Amino acid sequence: MQSYRSTNEYRMFTVLWTKFQEEVHMKNRSTRFTILTLLLTFALAFTACVAVAPETGGDAMMEEEGGFVVGVSNTLVGNGWREQMICAIKAEATASGLVDSVVVVNRNGGPTEQIADLEGLISQGVDAIILNPTDREGLNAVIESAIAQGIVVVAVDQAVTAEGAYVATNDQTAYARLGAEWLFEQLGGSGKVVEMRGIDGVPADTDRHNGFMEALANYPDIEVVASTFTGWDPSTGAQQALDLITTQEIDGIWTSGIDYPVVEQFQVADVDFVPIVGADNNGFVEQLIQLADAGLMGAAVTNPPAIGAVGMAIALDALTGNNPPHETILTPQVFTTADLDALNAIYAPDEQVGWSTYVDIEPYTSYNGSADVSACTAPGE
C-alpha cells in the first residue's frame, strides 16, 4: 500500500512543476515553446502519478499490495539491546506482509557517520527510515531532507526534533527516575551511590541522567560518589564496576542497562552485593532470581528493544495513510526482588543474556513473540 508521495513519479512531478514555474516567470518570448512542451510533459507526469494512487478518500492514496523498502540506521554494534532492536524491526516487517526488504546500515559511529548513512539510504530510494539517533538535533537537516522527498522517518528509542519526523521511545526520563527512586528507598534515603551512564551526549543518556537527577533532588542525604560513561558496553561497564567496588565504599549502583556484568564483578571480587538497578535484560533478571538468597536486591526497569518493532508499525501506518501520532511514548514497568514471581514471569531460560523477553507490545506488534524476534529474519532473507 505505497503512498504515491514516495514514488519516483511524484518526485518527477515536483521537479517538472518547479521548472515550469521558473519558465513562466521568464520574459523572453522564445521560451513559449519550452513552456508548452513542459505543460504537456507535466500533464503526462501528473496522469502517471494519479494512476499510481487509487481513490481511497481524503489524502490517502495507496497501493494495496505494499512492497515497501525500509531502511534502518544503527550506530552501536556489539550491543545486545541494539541487536534485538534490529531483529524486532525485521520480525515486524515480515509479519506485516507489506515490506519487500529491510536495508540495515549497522556500524559504530556518531552524528557524522549517521548523517552519511542516512544520506546513503535516501539515495537508495527507500520508502521509510527507522533510526536510533545519535543526536537530538544534529540530524535534523538530513531527516527533514528525507521527509521532503516523501520518505517516512521514525526515530526509535531516542527522540529527534526534526519537523515531520515520527518518534517512538520508551520514556527514558521515567526509566531512570523510577529505578533511582527504588534504589534510594532501599538505602533508607541515605548512602553512597554510583551512576553508571551510557554514551555521553546521546538523547537517551541525557534523558536518563535528567531522570536520575530528578529523583536525587528528593533525597538530599544520597551522595553520588562516582558517575561513569559505560558506552553501553558490557566489558567497559564490568571493568568500571570492578574498579569501583574494590576501591570505594559504595552502598548502591544505578546502571543505564549495563547490569548483569556489574553483578558478576561482585562475585569476581568476592564482596557483598549492594542494591543494583538495571534494565529488563534476561541475564540480569536471571541473576535477581537466582541470587536473591545470596543477598542480591535489585530492580529491573523495562526498556524493551521491541520499540524497534513499534517504529516499524508506525512507519507502515504512515505509509498506508493511517495517520499515526507523531509521538509515541511507552511507560516503563519495574520488576524487583520483592516479587520473584513477577521476575520469573518475564524470564526466558533460552534467551540471550543481553536480550529482553518483553517483546509483545500491544497494539503495535503482530509477530509471534520471542520466537519470531530471535529468528531475526527480514522479508527476502
* Per-residue model confidence (pLDDT) at position 114: 98
Structural domain includes residue 314: yes
Domain count, the chain: 3
Query: How far apart, in whole angstroms, are the C-alpha atoms of residue 287 and residue 298?
Result: 9
**In the predicted structure, residue 76 carries a pLDDT above the cut 90:** yes
For cell 508506525, what's the residue? 314
40-54, 189-203, 246-260: the lowest-pLDDT one:
40-54
50-54, 144-148, 191-195: the lowest-pLDDT one:
50-54
* Per-residue model confidence (pLDDT) at position 28: 41
Query: How far apart, in whole angstroms, are the C-alpha atoms of residue 253 and residue 259?
Result: 9
- 180, 102: one domain: no
Structural domain includes residue 87: yes
- What residues make up the domain containing 224? 172-301
CB-CB contact of 298 with 275 (8 Å): yes
Structural domain includes residue 352: no
| CB neighbours of residue 268 within 10 Å | 12
- 154, 213: one domain: no
**In the predicted structure, residue 1 carries a pLDDT above the cut 60:** no
Query: How far apart, in whole angstroms, are the C-alpha atoms of residue 54 and residue 89?
Result: 29
Q: Which residues pair with 166 in a beta bridge?
A: 154
In single-letter form, the type of residue at position 187 comes to: L
Segment 275-322, tens digit of pLDDT: 999 999 999 999 999 999 999 999 999 999 999 999 999 999 999 999
- 152, 188: one domain: no
Nearest to 77 by CA among 40, 117, 43, 29: 117
Structural domain includes residue 341: no
For cell 564496576, what's the residue? 241
- 315, 201: one domain: no
- 286, 323: one domain: no
CB-CB contact of 204 with 279 (8 Å): no
In what side-by-side order are the strands of the sheet with 128-131? 99-106, 68-74, 128-131, 152-156, 166-170, 327-330
Calculate mean pLDDT across residues 61-73. Answer: 77
Calculate mean pLDDT across residues 204-215. Answer: 97
In single-letter form, the type of residue at position 163 comes to: E
> 3-state SS of 159-194?
CCCCCCCEEEEECHHHHHHHHHHHHHHHCCCCEEEE
- 189, 115: one domain: no
- 297, 176: one domain: yes
> What global pTM score does this model have?
0.76
- 185, 269: one domain: yes
Segment 231-285, tens digit of pLDDT: 999 999 999 999 999 999 999 999 999 999 999 999 999 999 999 999 999 999 9
- 237, 176: one domain: yes
- 33, 148: one domain: no
In the chain, how long is the greatest CA-to-CA distance? 91
Structural domain includes residue 348: no
Structural domain includes residue 380: no
CB-CB contact of 373 with 359 (8 Å): yes
* DSSP-assigned letters across all residues of 187-228: TTT-EEEEEEE-STTSHHHHHHHHHHHHHHTT-TTEEEEEEE
**In the predicted structure, residue 36 carries a pLDDT above the cut 90:** no
For cell 503495535, what's the residue? 364
Structural domain includes residue 264: yes
Nearest to 301 by CA among 208, 195, 239, 363: 208
- 288, 185: one domain: yes
CATH number at residue 285: 3.40.50.2300
* DSSP-assigned letters across all residues of 15-63: HHHHHHHHHHT---GGGHHHHHHHHHHHHHHHHHHHHHS---STT--B-
Banded pLDDT at 65 (limits 50, 70, 90) = low
- 221, 203: one domain: yes
Structural domain includes residue 184: yes
